[in-house]
Structure 1
Amino acid sequence: MAILGMRFTALTVVLAMACVFTSFQNDNLMAYGQCEGDITSIISQCAKYVRKAGPKMRPSKDCCGVARNADIPCLCKYLTKDIEQYISVEKAVYIAQTCGVALQHGSKCGSYTIP
């Protein structure tokens, strides 16, 4: 039963992200592709840590590995209200900072201002 629940959760995240990515306009999608890092790996390794529901959790080594290889400030520029319906930007910033990704205080990540 737990495996079924994990599969459903993973499928939900993938479908949600697919909906979000298809809602991008062509210009945004092309600009988003300019950011370094493998978005697929970020989603697969870090999705459970940025869900809106649930407590803030310390990220795994694998999640930190892909987060450190991504250009988080660049990705932050392309976070839309649509994406923010599915993820907690506060948790995403927490993960980045916990993993040692430098983020400028006072800068924006989507609608969230980094403290």
Structure 2
Amino acid sequence: MAAVKIVLMILMVTLVMQSRLVFSQNCSANLGALTTCAAYVLPGGPRVLPSAECCGALRAVDRTCLCSTVDIINRIPRDCNLPVVTCV
């Protein structure tokens, strides 16, 4: 009975790790498609509406993926012993 529990636990851990890997790969691929939006996010870019391609790429990115990416970006200054960036 204990062996069955161990096998089930290993299976669950493997499934969780696999789903995180798939999420990470999908997130990276979807974020990569956002290069079509570069002109709209870089300082000095045009002050016009984003293209249909940009909007479609953004629509394809999962909200969790976007939030995780923003959280990571916000941690970089702290991890580099720099002041936190605040935009007001």
Q: TM > 0.5 between the two?
A: no
Q: Which has the higher contact order (CA 8 A, sep 6+)?
A: 1
Higher percent of residues as helix: 2
Task: Report the TM range for the smaller structure's normalisation.
Answer: 0.3 to 0.5
